Structure 1
Amino acid sequence: MGKATSGGQNFAATDSCSNVRIEDCYIVSGDDCVAIKSGWDEYGIAYGMPSQHIVVRRLTCISPTSAVIALGSEMSGGIQDVRAEDITAFGSESGVRIKTAVGRGAYVRDVYVRRMNLDGMKWVFWMTGSYKSHPDDKYDPNAIPVVDGISYSEVVARNVTTAARLEGIPNAPFRGICISNVTVALAKPSKMPWYCADVEGISSGVTPPACAPITDEGAVAEPCPFPADPLPMDQLAFHQCIYTAS
């Protein structure tokens, strides 16, 4: 289990961790502010320990060359049940980034993000299935990662170059993407504010409108989901202790 509650100059990383709470942090980083990983290619597959049940709350991030929250690219043990909310970021490359590639195997699923306030992004949302770095040439080319159940809602972003770049894997698209109540103000007009390939999902209340594979459902009563059930780390409380030496 893990918990981070203080500000600092370094990024927070989890690798093959369960029941993690990261909250009330101010992070300035030359890499991803929060990086969630679970092993690399065949080694991560063999170890088989996912990162799961992770909460990120009330985070303020500055990361000029990387992401506010990154999942992968080392995710071969799986990543699931990640919940992030009340995120503020300035001058960062991307808001949420999912990185994987053929040879990784496993999955990134059940990722929920809501209430992001962003300023000065290259991309708000970025997914890629072609992050082609490998530790060696022993990876399995038939180990195809699954990306499914990714939910973004209540996002406001200003001074953005491109709203999103969503690239899945040919013949293995990223599915179950849901984007709702998102407003992106571009720094300059763009003929292609969204770029999508090999992805499937739905959207509602998104400006500028999402790309065609993220189908516009119009106004819906139920926006993208965010789990209401508490995680074990939500029940954990820390108490201040005073010790006096005699």
Structure 2
Amino acid sequence: MQAAAVAVALCAAAALLASCGAGASGGEGCRKHAARVTEYGAVGDGKRLNTAAFAKAVVDLAERARDGGGAALVVPKGKWLTGPFNLTSHFTLYLDEGAEILASQDMKDWPLIAPLPSYGRGRDEPGPRYSNFIAGSNLTDVIITGKNGTINGQGQVWWDKYHAKELKFTRGYLLELLYSDGIIISNVTFVDSPSWNLHPTYCTNVTISGVTILAPVHSPNTDGIDPDSSSHVRIEDCYIVSGDDCIAVKSGWDEYGIKFNMPSQHIVIKRLTCISPTSAMIALGSEMSGGIRDVRAEDSVAINTESAVRVKSGVGRGGFVKDIFVRGLSLHTMKWVFWMTGNYGQHPDNSSDPNAMPEVTGINYSDVFAENVTMAGRMEGIPNDPYTGICISNVTARLAPDAKKLQWNCTDVKGVASDVHPKPCPELGAEGKPCAFPEEELVIGPPELPKCSY
């Protein structure tokens, strides 16, 4: 008992300088070194700009992590205004309860950076793009977590300028990690991103769990989570309210994505809750020119959302979308339950290769219940390049009072259906068996998230 009391006293004495408890115990994912951002001169009054303090903290902790123990930057309760900053490897960004990191609204604090090679230009505008708020490249073992603190992009100024066509460059994203491996994002709230929220790009082994993402439902392009040319991604137990797709799986844009040739694959999405009146619960594309394969989505809820799992492609995209498995959806107030688009526009150079045709095949939907539905299915493939291998089984769509008389509109698609109500279109009318879902579970990330406090 005496030894335990001494340990507690030592822990309390060290609390302002380092982690104690889980972080010091050597548990998986916990860091040997920890420091508060206040140790580097940061002030949490929501007014003073702390960009230099965040940058200094990351550089110092990167050096301290070289002994193999890793390092954590603790952001305590308060409002911490800062410009964009980068992360480092073997590093945890820990937001304590009541902590809020605020993005600067002064565009002079957002330097320009190169466009992504798989996009060839900025997504909004040609040329370079504004930096992302939190970023990193070629990193290993990065954790963003805490006690549900907030990362606030303060995006209204960006949305206003975007609508007024006053931006010369593409807006930055709230979090973008490139060429990185072993990423965990958990128990954090992301609010009001200038554009896309979470953008893991060219990454492997990404876990996003217990994350809340909030943006006004009419804010422009505030996608929730966009895995882009990334492999082995697990998204679970997330709540997203968005002005665009809640989740959009991507892999590069037209000729740039075809040349870069890095697919998004082996992606698991579970227990998602989505609200997005003008977009999809989960979109596959539209930038899918490097290919999308093996996406497994299940046990998820959409409320007042335009569509459920939507394929977005078109002539000039190239690439493929295949081996998609969806089951266990509960949908409430939907414009379309099923939507596939083969005429999606938006090309990077206002031109595209007319011979770059996408391959869309092996799309499986099962065990779907929807209510207050305007239209069951809008399924549009591409002339002379139909979407094939579509399977829909065990589906009930209860119609809204103002539902369309024509419940299915299908062109250039081929598939089978089983136990689907209302009765599907003839192109999907062949009687099929219950749709496939892989039996073998994809193992992505740690079996349990690190339980560390600092």
TM-score scaled by structure 2?
0.51
Structure 1 CA distance, aligned partners of 2:348 and 2:300?
A: 32
Can you list the C-alpha shifts for 1:38-73, whole angstroms capped at 9, x where unaligned?
000000000000000000000111001100000101
Can you list the C-alpha shifts for 1:118-166, whole angstroms capped at 9, x where unaligned?
0110001100110021011452110000000000000000001000100
| 1:223 corresponding residue in structure 2 | 434
Query: How far does residue 7 in structure 1 lie from its aligned partner after superposition?
Result: 2.2
Structure 1 CA distance, aligned partners of 2:453 and 2:309?
A: 40
Task: Give the superposed CA RMSD.
Answer: 1.4
| 1:166 corresponding residue in structure 2 | 379
* More deviation, 189-198/29-38: 189-198
Structure 1 CA distance, aligned partners of 2:425 and 2:341?
A: 16
| 1:90 corresponding residue in structure 2 | 303
Task: State the SS of the aligned residue for 1:15.
Answer: coil
1:1-246 pair list within 5 angstroms = 1-5=205-209, 6-9=211-214, 11-187=224-400, 188-217=402-431, 222-233=433-444, 236-241=447-452
The structure with higher relative contact order (CA 8 Å, sep 6+) is 1
Structure 2 CA distance, aligned partners of 1:82 and 1:172?
A: 22
Query: How far does residue 189 in structure 1 lie from its aligned partner after superposition?
Result: 4.9
* Structure showing greater Rg: 2
Structure 2 CA distance, aligned partners of 1:69 and 1:184?
A: 18
Structure 1 CA distance, aligned partners of 2:250 and 2:336?
A: 21
Query: How far does residue 13 in structure 1 lie from its aligned partner after superposition?
Result: 1.0
Task: State the SS of the aligned residue for 1:213.
Answer: helix
Task: State the SS of the aligned residue for 1:232.
Answer: coil
Task: State the SS of the aligned residue for 1:8.
Answer: strand
Query: Higher strand share goes to which structure?
Result: 1
| 2:98 corresponding residue in structure 1 | none
Can you list the C-alpha shifts for 1:184-232, whole angstroms capped at 9, x where unaligned?
0110354310110000000000000110000241xx6x41000011213
Structure 2 CA distance, aligned partners of 1:237 and 1:81?
A: 23
Q: What stretches of structure 1 of length at least 5 have no aligned partner?
A: none
Query: Higher helix share goes to which structure?
Result: 2
Q: What stretches of structure 2 of length at least 5 have no aligned partner?
A: 1-204, 216-223
Relative to structure 1, the CA distance from residue 241 to residue 63 in structure 2 (aligned partners, 3 Å threshold; closer, same or farther) is same
Query: How far does residue 236 in structure 1 lie from its aligned partner after superposition?
Result: 4.1
Query: How far does residue 242 in structure 1 lie from its aligned partner after superposition?
Result: 5.0
Task: State the SS of the aligned residue for 1:43.
Answer: helix
Task: State the SS of the aligned residue for 2:213.
Answer: coil
Answer yes or no: is the 8 Å Cα contact 2:213–2:242 preserved in 1: no
Question: What one-letter code is carried by the residue in structure 2 that aligns with 1:196?
Answer: C
Structure 2 CA distance, aligned partners of 1:91 and 1:59?
A: 14
Structure 2 CA distance, aligned partners of 1:35 and 1:90?
A: 17
Task: State the SS of the aligned residue for 2:444.
Answer: helix
